[in-house]
Structure 1
Amino acid sequence: MYRISELAEQVGLSRTALLYYEKQQLIKGHRLDNGYRVYSDKDLQRIRLIQQLQSGGLTLKECKACLEAKVDRQLLKNRLQELDREIAQKQQSRQLLTALLGEGDLKAWHENVDRVAPDAHLDWLIKQGFTEKEALRLKWLSKDMNEHDTYMADFMKVFETLERWAPGSKSETIKAISLLPEEPKKILEVGCGKGIATQLLAQNTAASITAVDNEESALTRLRDRFSSNNLSSRLTTVCASMTELPFDTASFDLIWAEGSAYIMGVNNALTQWKPLLVENGVLMLSDLVWLTDTPSEEAIKFWQQEYPDIQNVKTRLQHIKTAGYEVVDSFTLSDDAWRNYYEPLITRVDALIEQMPNSVALEDISKENNIYTNYLGQFGYQMFILRKRR
């Protein structure tokens, strides 16, 4: 016979737990004449059997049912399914922790967080020690905080010799300029890159131009371009983030953003840039959109990872109107605009494959090239010329 303290020591449970077991009629103690409560070896073995059943994930109530009647196989199957789900969740948790420690791939995790909480994701990356520029590039390009530096070094190696960093054509930039409702006097270009559109704005307007990019090397290239064409007096370059533009309200009558608004989110751009425009000022931005209601599964899968906010034109127009703009005009970039970007890029990738056989950046760029080759026409860039209304 065992006193309750002795039984507790034998089975590794507290006195309170044993009293609860007794209350649930799982064991049955006897009180001696001296007032001590005692238990038999049968009680000891019964508790050990319960502990074995509990190790399979059964609750105390389910253990009691198994002790008092034939095992309920459906109950065990349900518990097994639940246990499998818990194991899968624990495995995911382990994979994330090892990845955060630099021992695994974080790409899928970053993609998922950016899909459900893009602004919080950006803030968190900055708190991890990344500059805003690095954090934005991590969100859109490397998607792995542990491999970001290597990824970006490879990415910049691919693009360093390329004139264009996004689809576009001179003729269609000029077309968009021709659709402006008034001649601009002060232009802000956001995400100017190496300045292809900047030069066309200078050549086709008499406006002063402030060009913003967060890549200083691109701005250096732009300044050199304007200097060689005797246009420097009309150009001001600013190395800054598009999310925190250092300008006063009502500073510009035209904001120009070809292929850049997606970086901060089109809806955010529509809202945050609007105060910088004068009354009835104009915003021209381009955005990647679906051109069909039935895109292929492969194209959907790719763009959901690379640009989760991709919309069809109708939906994006609704966003524009909700943000307080009137649509002056809109048109889709031609296939030539895409060829101007992708054909040199494909050639560049082919030239670097042997030098960079294990480059994740090169692999990602190759995947995008394949999507362009196989599915262009299902998606495209839409140029939106918008007038600020309220």
Structure 2
Amino acid sequence: MYRISELAAAVGLSRTALLYYEKQQLISGKRLENGYRFYSDEDLQRVRLIQQLQAGGLTLKECKVCLEEKIDKDLLRNRLRQLDEDIALKQQSRALLAAMLGEGDLRTWHEDLERVAPDAHLNWLVKQGFTEKEALRLKWLSKDMNDHETYMNDFMKVYETLERWGPGNEKDTLKALSLLPEAPADILEIGCGTGLSTKLLIDNTDANITAIDNEPSALARLEERFEEQDISGRLSSICVSMTELPFEKESFDLIWSEGSAYIMGVQKALTQWRPLLQPGGYMMLSDLVWLTDQPDKEAMAFWEQSYPDIQTISTRLKQMDAAGYDVVDHFSLSRESWDNYSEPLKKRIHDLSSDMSESEALKDIESELDIYSKFLGQFGYQMFVLAKRD
């Protein structure tokens, strides 16, 4: 015979829990003449059996059914399925925590977060100690906090000798420039890179040009490009983030951005850059878009990871209208523009492949080139010439 305190000690439960068991008729204590409640060895063993059943995920109510009737196998199957689901979630949680400690791959997590909460993602990365420049590159390129430095070193090694870091050619840039209704006087070029488009803007306008980029090595090459050219102070270059432009409102009558607005988000760029334009000013912005309403699943899967904000042309046009712009015209970059970028890149990868065979950056670039070769035409860069609406 066991007093309730003795039974509680034997099974590792509280007195309150045992009284609840008794209320649910799971055990049955007897009150003796001296007023104390006592429990039998049968009660002890029933409690231990209940504890074993609860370890399988059954509720007390379900335990009682199992004690009093034949086992309900459908009930057990449901519990087993629920436990499998719980275990899978716990494994995901463990994998994430391990990855954040440097013991696994964080890429999928960063990709998912970028898709559902891009601004919060960027702010969180900055709070983890990354500069804004590093955080932006992590979002779009390495997608793993633990391997970011190695990834970026490899990425820059691939691109350091290349003239172009994205699709483009002179004809397409000049075509976009020719669509402007008025000749510009003050141009802000955002994401100027090494200055290929900058040169065309200088050679084909009389405007003063402010070229900005957040990559010092690109700006150094831009400055070398114009070192021997007398442009009478028309060009100034600034190393600054496109998200924090240090200019007064209405400073420019043309903003020019080829293939860079995606870094901060096209909709955000349309909104944040608009105040810098003078009344009636213009913007030329290019962006990667779907050129078909039914792209191949492989292409969709790739861009869902690499550029989750890719949209159709019609969606971008609606966003531009909502942001306060009239569309002057738009057109797709030519195949020549893509070849100008992809062909030198292929050769560069070939030259480096033996020394960088394990590089994640190199593998990612190769995957992107493979998508170009298979599906270019289902997607492409679109050049949009916009007018600021009063």
TM-score when normalising by structure 1: 0.99
Cross-structure match for 2:9: 9
Preserved CA contact (<8 Å) 1:211 1:236: yes
| Structure 1 residue 129 corresponds to structure 2 residue 129 | yes
Cross-structure match for 2:317: 317
Structure 1 residue identity aligned to 2:214: N
Following the alignment from structure 1 to structure 2, what is the Cα–Cα distance between the partners of residues 232 and 344? 33
Structure 1 residue identity aligned to 2:251: S
Following the alignment from structure 1 to structure 2, what is the Cα–Cα distance between the partners of residues 178 and 351? 38
How far residue 220 of structure 1 moved from its aligned partner, in angstroms, is 1.1
Cross-structure match for 1:171: 171
Report SS of the residue matched to 1:233: coil
Following the alignment from structure 1 to structure 2, what is the Cα–Cα distance between the partners of residues 186 and 288? 26
Following the alignment from structure 2 to structure 1, what is the Cα–Cα distance between the partners of residues 232 and 147? 39
Following the alignment from structure 2 to structure 1, what is the Cα–Cα distance between the partners of residues 8 and 92? 37
Structure 1 residue identity aligned to 2:344: P
Following the alignment from structure 1 to structure 2, what is the Cα–Cα distance between the partners of residues 305 and 216? 28
Preserved CA contact (<8 Å) 1:133 1:214: yes
Following the alignment from structure 1 to structure 2, what is the Cα–Cα distance between the partners of residues 108 and 366? 19
How far residue 33 of structure 1 moved from its aligned partner, in angstroms, is 1.4
Following the alignment from structure 1 to structure 2, what is the Cα–Cα distance between the partners of residues 362 and 150? 12
% identity of equivalent residues: 68
Structure 2 residue identity aligned to 1:197: S
Cross-structure match for 2:301: 301
How far residue 280 of structure 1 moved from its aligned partner, in angstroms, is 1.1
Preserved CA contact (<8 Å) 1:30 1:38: yes
Structure 1 residue identity aligned to 2:287: D
Cross-structure match for 2:92: 92
How far residue 35 of structure 1 moved from its aligned partner, in angstroms, is 1.3
How far residue 232 of structure 1 moved from its aligned partner, in angstroms, is 5.9
Preserved CA contact (<8 Å) 1:247 1:276: yes
Cross-structure match for 1:111: 111
Structure 1 residue identity aligned to 2:222: L
Preserved CA contact (<8 Å) 1:226 1:232: no
Following the alignment from structure 1 to structure 2, what is the Cα–Cα distance between the partners of residues 215 and 248? 23
Following the alignment from structure 2 to structure 1, what is the Cα–Cα distance between the partners of residues 198 and 232? 12
How far residue 181 of structure 1 moved from its aligned partner, in angstroms, is 1.3
Report SS of the residue matched to 1:130: coil
Report SS of the residue matched to 2:105: coil
Cross-structure match for 1:73: 73
Structure 2 residue identity aligned to 1:179: L
How far residue 229 of structure 1 moved from its aligned partner, in angstroms, is 2.1
What pairs with 1:314-353 in structure 2 (closer than 5 Å)? 314-353=314-353
Deviates more, 1:262-271 or 1:62-71: 62-71
Structure 1 residue identity aligned to 2:357: P
How far residue 264 of structure 1 moved from its aligned partner, in angstroms, is 0.4
Report SS of the residue matched to 1:162: coil
How far residue 64 of structure 1 moved from its aligned partner, in angstroms, is 1.1
Cross-structure match for 2:252: 252
Following the alignment from structure 1 to structure 2, what is the Cα–Cα distance between the partners of residues 355 and 307? 28
Following the alignment from structure 1 to structure 2, what is the Cα–Cα distance between the partners of residues 263 and 235? 24
| Structure 1 residue 276 corresponds to structure 2 residue 248 | no
TM-score when normalising by structure 2: 0.99
How far residue 67 of structure 1 moved from its aligned partner, in angstroms, is 1.0
Preserved CA contact (<8 Å) 1:223 1:232: no
How far residue 76 of structure 1 moved from its aligned partner, in angstroms, is 0.6
Structure 2 residue identity aligned to 1:208: N
Report SS of the residue matched to 2:283: strand
Following the alignment from structure 1 to structure 2, what is the Cα–Cα distance between the partners of residues 28 and 370? 72
Cross-structure match for 2:143: 143
| Count of residue pairs brought into register by the alignment | 390
Following the alignment from structure 2 to structure 1, what is the Cα–Cα distance between the partners of residues 60 and 165? 63
Following the alignment from structure 2 to structure 1, what is the Cα–Cα distance between the partners of residues 31 and 100? 57
How far residue 7 of structure 1 moved from its aligned partner, in angstroms, is 0.3
Following the alignment from structure 1 to structure 2, what is the Cα–Cα distance between the partners of residues 239 and 37? 82
| Structure 1 residue 181 corresponds to structure 2 residue 181 | yes
Following the alignment from structure 1 to structure 2, what is the Cα–Cα distance between the partners of residues 4 and 26? 14
How far residue 85 of structure 1 moved from its aligned partner, in angstroms, is 0.4
How far residue 228 of structure 1 moved from its aligned partner, in angstroms, is 2.2
Q: Deviations over 1:332-372 (max 9, x none)?
A: 11111100000100111011000111100000000001000
* Unpaired segments ≥5 residues, structure 2: none
What pairs with 1:47-58 in structure 2 (closer than 5 Å)? 47-58=47-58
Following the alignment from structure 2 to structure 1, what is the Cα–Cα distance between the partners of residues 209 and 377? 33
Deviates more, 1:65-74 or 1:1-10: 65-74
C-alpha root-mean-square deviation of aligned residues, in Å? 0.8
Following the alignment from structure 2 to structure 1, what is the Cα–Cα distance between the partners of residues 295 and 351? 31
Following the alignment from structure 2 to structure 1, what is the Cα–Cα distance between the partners of residues 229 and 355? 36
Structure 2 residue identity aligned to 1:2: Y
Following the alignment from structure 1 to structure 2, what is the Cα–Cα distance between the partners of residues 370 and 322? 35
Cross-structure match for 1:234: 234
Structure 2 residue identity aligned to 1:306: S
* Unpaired segments ≥5 residues, structure 1: none
Distance 1:354 1:25, change over 3 A: same
Report SS of the residue matched to 1:194: coil
How far residue 233 of structure 1 moved from its aligned partner, in angstroms, is 1.3
Cross-structure match for 2:19: 19
Structure 2 residue identity aligned to 1:384: F
